[in-house]
Amino acid sequence: MENKKEMRNWLDDMKLDHPLVIAGPCSAETEEQVLKIAHELKDTDVSYFRAGIWKPRTRPGMFEGVGALGLNWLKKVKEETGMKTCTEVANAAHVKLAIENDVDLLWIGARSTVSPFIMQELADALAGTDKIVLVKNPVNPDLALWLGGIERLYTAGIKNLGAIHRGFSTYEKTKYRNIPEWQIAIEFQNRFPDLPLINDPSHITGKRDMVFDVSQTALDLNFDGLMIETHTDPDNAWSDAAQQVTPASLIQMMVDLKIRKESDPEAEYNQELTNLRAQIDVVDNQIIEALGKRMKIADGIGGLKKQKNVAVLQSKRWNEILGKMVLEGESKGLSEEFILKMFKAIHQESINHQEKIIKG
């Protein structure tokens, strides 16, 4: 993938004065529904109309899409609104039908990216196409799998490539449907700065009231665009109702989102500063998450000590931890003074948690 510049031409050629916006319903439900949403998004900053035709679902019995019938509805969207269209493909048959029906952009979902076998099948089916192909990150936080999928497509002669960051699955209970793991997206950008990267805040959040904030974070981190699920009656959508926004909400969101400009040296400085600060915000949030997890473990230790009637403070264990962390900190360029202050504060909070458990 040495000639990465080739892969960005499709976005550069659009000459947009705003980030790329892909919007439309999670699922194409009826012809009327698809056309109604498309007409409400017509003449806005939305560049591509999206709709799921084939819906890979976690369990059988759920709505799995209308299938090839929906491709006719996407044709009508293009004819009536002039918008370009896109949908997800998960196997060679999907690819063939989508190309035959002149879908402009195809994306590969997170459940497909996780399998090199599926990615190779799709790469073979797409070989040589000039369609735009976007690859969502795999469901598990594995940067190598994500990059490997893109490399298979590039090797097959597909040059109009891009990526979609939609977050990662986790067993932990968090405020997100799929945790963003922003550091993986940042590393992706560092590896392939010329490959367009789109953020999917709908799947990251799972909640429409969080879509704006995640979208803003993505733009602050220099993402090239957004994919936002949009429905005229989201509460009654046939799939992913909670995360879809109305066309009116999306239009207002596009007005309210702060977009950085690169028209002068001062703007370039501010852009870089905003990007670095956004990266700091990501790491700070990870620190808070990690500390919260640590204190939950401390609660468990407190419960065990209470059960066995063991003292909270274990000086030998504490001194071992402190010495180890000082050495670890030095290897990361952190001063001994800082490490001591930080871990003494963490240790005190841990003791407070354990004492609360024991006294409770």
Q: What is the CATH number of domain 4-259?
A: 3.20.20.70
Q: What is the pLDDT of residues 218-257, one digit of tens each?
A: 999 989 999 999 999 999 999 999 999 999 999 999 999 9
**Higher pLDDT pick, 176 / 16:** 176
Q: Which amino acid is at 255?
A: V
Percentages (nearest 5) of helix, strand, coil residues in the chain: 55, 10, 35
Determine how many CB atoms are found less than 10 A away from the CB of residue 135. 26
Q: Which residues lie closer than 8 Å to 181 by C-beta, 6 or more apart?
A: 141, 167, 168
Given a cut of 70, whether residue 266 has pLDDT beyond it is yes
Written as one string, the DSSP assignment of 136-150 is: EPPSSS-HHHHHHHH
φ, ψ of residue 229 in degrees (nearest 5): -75, 130
pLDDT value of residue 77:
98
208 secondary structure, DSSP code = G
Distances, alpha carbon 155 to alpha carbons 9, 126, 128, 214, in Å: 17, 11, 10, 33
- Report domain extents, the chain: 4-259, 268-359
Q: What is the pLDDT of residues 298-318, one digit of tens each?
A: 888 888 887 878 877 777 887
Q: Please, are residues 278 and 272 in contact by the beta-carbon 8 Å criterion?
A: no
Q: What is the pLDDT of residues 209-218, one digit of tens each?
A: 999 999 999 9
Q: Token pair for residue 300?
A: 């468990």
Q: What is the pLDDT of residues 37-86, one digit of tens each?
A: 999 999 999 999 999 999 776 677 677 789 999 999 999 999 999 999 99
φ, ψ of residue 250 in degrees (nearest 5): -65, -45
Residue with tokens 């400085």: 269
User: Percent of the chain beyond pLDDT 90?
Assistant: 59
Q: Which CATH class is domain 268-359?
A: mainly alpha
